[in-house]
Amino acid sequence: MTEVPAAVRDPATLDLSRSRRLHVTNVGGAGMSAVATLLAESGHVVSGHDPAASTPFLDLLAGRGVAVSTGTERPLLDGGVEAVVVSTATPPDDPHVAAARDRGVPVLHRAAALAALSAVRTTAAVAGTHGKTTTSALLTTILSGAGRDPGWVVGAGIAHLGRSAAWGGDGPLVVEADESDGTFLALATDVAIVTNVEPDHLENWGGEEALREGFRRFVAGVAGPVVLCADDPGSAALLPAADRPLTYGLDPAADYRVVDPAPWGTGVRFTLRHVGEDVEVEVPAAPGVHNARNAAGALAVADALGVPLADGVAALAAFTGVARRFELRGEAGGVTVVDSYDHLPTEVAAALAAAAWGPWQRVVAVFQPHRYSRTAGLWRSFADAFVDADLLAVTGIYAAGEAPRPGVTGKLLVDAVLEAHPWAHVAWLPTLDDVLVWLGGVLRPGDLCLTLGAGDLTDLAPRILARLEADR
């Protein structure tokens, strides 16, 4: 049997059947602040520490009653703490971790905390190499609009709900189930969806087959229906592992079939066909065929949870987007600036295809590769990912904490693109300052400027808009 990442091999568990006093490390980050929020809102006494002096999540945590300290100097760990929750990024010599171990207090990974939370209510897990955040947000929107009072923990803020995590009421808990460190294997899952399975995070899994085996184990462990994408070979390959499989997608044999997807304002519209019933679906603020699939998958999961398709479709009218998922950042000088988190080849291609569907005269794309390990393993796979961009700039790699690797730069992607498409308009611009100067020379009214990547490229959008305003 394939080993799973270390994050889910800790034998310690967390019993949340009564109120606990808990401490969360790296609490100012997106993932850990979400866990702290759920723990606090579900009735536990939560404290936390983050080395950063300030993060966007600290005010939210304070509003939920979480006692947070920041900075390099940590206060002593409270003597009443019953467990310390850590992230993959928490170093083993963290003072609070060391203090807990000295006292015999359990030190648990974030996965264990999510497992404990999922064990106390019906849980819908959204898994897949990409598309998880948008699909989770769509599912949460459906359940909320249908009066199911869900909780949720999603990888980015859901715009109309104003936050990325909430315990909610008595309805299902929607969990964006992360495969990167094996967290999804720890969850107590009642119904699930797998959007796709492609090579990623192989440095954590030890190889592609180990990753795929991890998904098989996840699917086999789901107590109820598992919704699989019929259009994705990796997801469809999981059918034999599921006890109660359902399928969705454009495939004519899909249980929930997407028919005739087409642009609809800033989103997508399509017909969803299921057991002889056709419903017309309109999804605001989520353009592209890939988001038609995401919406179909979310509707299928909601249907499995007892929400009729018609009610789910009506609830989607409230959806106004997700942070950093084809997010409109502004317009200036006739140029529309959109930022998107997409950083894998299939994701990038889907985002650019959605952009090409839009009303813009040209698509000017900027891509920031993410992690040296990922770039080293996947750079050739980006050769055809940018075909829908009229102009493309590739930046230096966002390290995400990794050490540089000799010979691994963003230039590898440029070489791959030009080898496959010799006449492509591609610029190799190592720094974001270089990109800003280049954009100043090429952008013109009617363009879409689309920034793509999971790193700090997102910070470029306001600078682009300011420069466009100054040049007017």
d(CA 171, CA 115): 17
- Which residues are the active-site residues? 132-133, 176
Classify strands 173-176 and 123-127 as parallel, antiparallel or unpaired.
parallel
Residues 6+ apart with CB under 8 A from 242: 219, 220, 222, 226, 228
Tokens of 15: 């019993």
- Asked if residue 187 lies in contact with residue 173, where contact means CB atoms within 8 angstroms, the answer is no
d(CA 49, CA 40): 15
Q: Report CA torsion sign: 449, 453, 458, 464.
A: negative
DSSP secondary structure of 148-202 = ---EEEEEEEETTTTEEEE--SSSPEEEE---TTSGGGGS--SEEEE----S--H
CA 251 from chain centre, in angstroms, equals 25
In terms of C-beta density within 10 A (0-12 exposed, 13-18 middle, 19 or more buried), how is residue 349 classed?
A: buried
Largest CA distance in the chain: 65
d(CA 426, CA 418): 8
